[in-house]
């Protein structure tokens, strides 16, 4: 049999995207997935009969449109339905709603502050311009600023030209966005607490940082990134749950000739005289291939699968201090009926969008205060969607599923995560949400709570970090995952990385997998 050109470790969406692109270029590819099913964190399951939970990740934020086109994912079953609104219930029974229609949105905001309603457009324009300025960086293999290689120098020169060409206003705005806290940045634009709270929430997702910590403003930009690619309304929900995203990519990869083996945990990468030659499975079997590409996070890849012995000390040091710090939990509910929110009673369009428990920046900051010292937030930030409102096939007729993303639930919990602590977290989430939707407790048929420790154990993401490492400034672009190794290559020849732990990181779905594949295809043997 013809040997494999490449083995992809991990069948999460990035691994599958990488495999699909390699297969598309005619390479013989084998994907090895530890679990019985592909998808990694993009995974749907009927945990409770008749109810499909999107167990971990739950929205399609920024699945790159070129991937959807290149891999013809709609032909393989992908259908992304838009989330059209964000509702922020407030403690006083009022609410803030943000809608995709400009007039409707302006009116909803003006109810809280006419200034904010006006500023919203200008804010959107500024972020749009910055997204335009940043977008080329996302699609670019980051140059190494410390290198004197002609390729890196040319890349740096291109980068310098790019920054100098973006104009003073945009450059300075970008500087602020990269270095400010979400709270401070939003304070410069808005006065309504509910709006600032809800906007700043996107700056803290997946990160153990509070909205007042510098570095959290940058993530606000990701919301505007999708629109540039013609993905108007970037936030969406995949029909069938996020598992169907993985299923579609896997189907595309198979159709292109890739082989996918599930239930096949990799024990280590085989390294011979500084070169990756294949992998050894936990079963003892060894599989050889010209290249090995790992979609696992940097810690797992380097410290577990490769081993320090094969790596320079500096890289080991950098990987050790790479911050994961998972901070997010999921609570998935099977519901007998729709939750009834005090602020907007009854069913309505608001239940088809996201519901955000983020009444103010201070609310989020206080939630973070507890997490800083190793406790989960008693009153957490939550992002709730009711997938069955968008895709009725997720639950039996008339019944519903709710997906609750909750933060902060620090991986390093004082005393560690136990079953009791997990359920206590679930209670805190439900208690808090029930303050806004009093019927909640009476309609819950089943509850699933997923902590960062569960994510680490079940999905294999270190410390339960949903982005395979925090998206903080010191872990982005040229230094993701480590200085000098931001280009999907590793010190082990023939070993590549393609997970969210590489540029441009998590939340920009599929981009690392694609860029890694393109890097490998461009590289000479």
Tell me the C-alpha distance between 376 and 369, whole Å: 9
Decide if residue 106 touches another protein (CB under 8 A): yes
Q: Which candidate, 8, 22, 7, places its Cα nearest to that of 515?
A: 22
Whether omega for the bond prior to residue 321 falls within 30 degrees of 0, making it cis, is no
Toward another protein, which CB reaches closer, 179 or 439? 179
Going residue by residue from 359 to 398, which x/- string records binding to another protein, judged by CB under 8 A? ---x--x---x--xx-------------------------
How do beta strands 354-357 and 381-385 pair? antiparallel
Decide if residue 129 touches another protein (CB under 8 A): yes
Sort 92 into a burial class: Cβ within 10 Å, 0-12 / 13-18 / 19+. Answer: exposed
Decide if residue 2 touches another protein (CB under 8 A): no
Minimum distance between the CB of residue 417 and another protein, rounded to whole angstroms? 21
Tell me the C-alpha distance between 138 and 298, whole Å: 19
Decide if residue 473 touches another protein (CB under 8 A): yes
Place of tokens 């490769």: 306
Among 328, 472, 490, 519, binds another protein (CB under 8 A): 472
Minimum distance between the CB of residue 474 and another protein, rounded to whole angstroms? 5
Residue 357: helix, strand or coil by DSSP?
Answer: strand
Decide if residue 491 touches another protein (CB under 8 A): no
Residue 109 tokens, joined? 């905001």
Among 65, 396, 483, 491, binds another protein (CB under 8 A): 483
Q: Decide: 504 and 451 in contact? Cβ < 8 Å.
A: no
Would you give the end-to-end CA distance of the chain in angstroms? 21
Among 77, 139, 145, 307, binds another protein (CB under 8 A): 145
**Residue 204 C-alpha from the chain's centroid:** 12
Phi then psi for residue 294, to 5 deg, are -105, 125
Decide if residue 412 touches another protein (CB under 8 A): no
Tell me the C-alpha distance between 364 and 335, whole Å: 27
Among 26, 74, 93, 114, binds another protein (CB under 8 A): 114
Toward another protein, which CB reaches closer, 22 or 471? 471
How large is the C-alpha radius of gyration of the chain? 22
Among 161, 172, 441, 457, binds another protein (CB under 8 A): 172
Q: Decide: 406 and 382 in contact? Cβ < 8 Å.
A: yes
Toward another protein, which CB reaches closer, 2 or 168? 168
Minimum distance between the CB of residue 365 and another protein, rounded to whole angstroms? 7
Tell me the C-alpha distance between 189 and 115, whole Å: 9
Minimum distance between the CB of residue 370 and another protein, rounded to whole angstroms? 10
Minimum distance between the CB of residue 214 and another protein, rounded to whole angstroms? 4
Decide if residue 161 touches another protein (CB under 8 A): no
Residues 182-211 touching another protein, rule: CB under 8 A, are 184, 187-188, 209
Q: Which stretch binds another protein (CB under 8 A): 51-59, 169-177, 303-311, 409-417?
A: 169-177
Among 12, 89, 206, 215, binds another protein (CB under 8 A): 215
Tell me the C-alpha distance between 204 and 202, whole Å: 6
How many CB atoms within 10 Å of residue 3?
Answer: 11
Decide if residue 321 touches another protein (CB under 8 A): yes
Q: Which candidate, 517, 457, 468, 470, places its Cα nearest to that of 489?
A: 517
Strand partners, 495: 292
Among 100, 104, 262, 342, binds another protein (CB under 8 A): 104
Toward another protein, which CB reaches closer, 48 or 189? 189
Decide if residue 103 touches another protein (CB under 8 A): yes
Decide if residue 312 touches another protein (CB under 8 A): no
Residue 459: helix, strand or coil by DSSP?
Answer: helix
Residue 371 tokens, joined? 């997490």
Q: Which stretch binds another protein (CB under 8 A): 112-120, 227-235, 287-295, 389-397?
A: 112-120
Q: What is the 3-state secondary structure (H, E, C) of 266-326?
A: EEEEEEECCEEEEEEECCCCEEEEEEEEECCCHHHHHHHHHCHHHCCHHHHHHHHHCCCCC
Pure H helices in 211-334: 222-228, 243-255, 298, 313-321
Minimum distance between the CB of residue 363 and another protein, rounded to whole angstroms? 12
Tell me the C-alpha distance between 476 and 464, whole Å: 19
Toward another protein, which CB reaches closer, 122 or 493? 122
Strand partners, 95: 89
Q: Which stretch binds another protein (CB under 8 A): 44-52, 54-62, 67-75, 107-115?
A: 107-115
Q: Which candidate, 61, 38, 15, 34, places its Cα nearest to that of 405?
A: 61
Crossing angle for the helix pair 114-138 and 168-179, nearest 10 degrees? 90
Decide if residue 149 touches another protein (CB under 8 A): no
Minimum distance between the CB of residue 490 and another protein, rounded to whole angstroms? 17
Q: By CB under 8 A, how many residues form the interface with another protein?
A: 52
Decide if residue 65 touches another protein (CB under 8 A): no
Among 82, 139, 307, 484, binds another protein (CB under 8 A): 484
- Interacting residues toward another protein by CB under 8 A: 103-104, 106-107, 114-115, 117-119, 121-122, 125, 128-129, 145-147, 163-164, 167-168, 171-172, 175-176, 178-181, 184, 187-188, 209, 212-216, 321, 323, 362, 365, 369, 372-373, 472-474, 478-479, 483-484
């Amino acid at each position: 049999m013809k040997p494999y050109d490449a083995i992809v470790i991990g069948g999460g969406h990035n691994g599958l995207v990488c495999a699909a692109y390699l297969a598309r270029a005619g390479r013989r590819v084998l994907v090895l997935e530890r679990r019985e099913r592909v998808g990694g964190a993009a995974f749907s399951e009927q945990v409770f009969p008749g109810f499909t939970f999107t167990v971990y990740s739950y929205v399609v934020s920024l699945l790159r449109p070129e991937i959807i086109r290149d891999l013809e994912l709609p032909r393989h079953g992908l259908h992304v339905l838009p989330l059209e609104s964000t509702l922020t219930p407030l403690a006083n029974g009022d609410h803030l709603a943000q809608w995709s229609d400009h007039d409707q949105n302006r009116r909803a905001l003006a109810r809280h502050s006419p200034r904010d309603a006006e500023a919203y457009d200008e804010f959107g324009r500024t972020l749009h311009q910055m997204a335009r300025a940043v977008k080329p960086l996302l699609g670019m293999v980051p140059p190494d600023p410390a290198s004197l290689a002609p390729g890196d120098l040319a890349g740096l020169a291109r980068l310098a030209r790019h920054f100098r060409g973006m104009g003073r206003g945009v450059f300075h705005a970008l500087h602020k966005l990269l270095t400010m806290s979400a709270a401070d940045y939003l304070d410069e634009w808005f006065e309504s607490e509910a709006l600032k709270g809800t906007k700043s929430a996107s700056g803290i997702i997946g990160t153990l940082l509070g909205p007042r910590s510098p570095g959290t403003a940058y993530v606000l930009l990701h919301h505007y990134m999708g629109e540039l690619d013609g993905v108007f309304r970037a936030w969406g929900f995949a029909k069938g749950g996020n598992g169907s995203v993985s299923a579609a990519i896997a189907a595309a990869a198979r159709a292109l000739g890739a082989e996918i083996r599930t239930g096949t945990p990799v024990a280590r990468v085989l390294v011979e005289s500084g070169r990756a030659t294949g992998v050894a499975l936990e079963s003892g079997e060894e599989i050889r291939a010209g290249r090995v590409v790992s979609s696992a996070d940097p810690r797992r890849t380097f410290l577990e699968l490769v081993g320090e012995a094969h790596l320079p000390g500096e890289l080991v040091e950098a990987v050790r201090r790479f911050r994961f710090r998972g901070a997010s939990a999921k609570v998935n509910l099977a519901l007998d009926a729709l939750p009834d929110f005090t602020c907007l009673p009854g069913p309505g369009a608001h239940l088809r969008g996201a519901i955000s428990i983020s009444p103010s920046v201070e609310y989020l900051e206080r939630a973070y205060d507890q997490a800083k010292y190793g406790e989960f937030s008693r009153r957490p930030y939550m992002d709730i969607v009711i997938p069955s409102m968008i895709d009725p096939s997720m639950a039996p007729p008339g019944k519903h599923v709710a997906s609750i993303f909750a933060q902060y639930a620090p991986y390093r919990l004082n005393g560690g995560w136990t079953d009791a602590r997990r359920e206590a977290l679930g209670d805190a989430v439900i208690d808090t949400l029930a303050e806004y939707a009093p019927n909640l407790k009476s309609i819950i048929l089943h509850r699933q709570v997923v902590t960062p420790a569960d994510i680490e154990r079940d999905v294999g993401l270190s410390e339960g970090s949903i982005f395979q490492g925090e998206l903080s400034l010191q872990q982005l672009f040229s230094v993701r995952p480590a200085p000098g190794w931001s280009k999907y290559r590793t010190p082990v020849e023939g070993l590549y990385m393609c997970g969210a732990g590489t540029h441009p990181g998590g939340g920009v779905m599929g981009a690392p997998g694609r860029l890694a594949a393109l890097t490998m295809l461009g590289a000479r043997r």
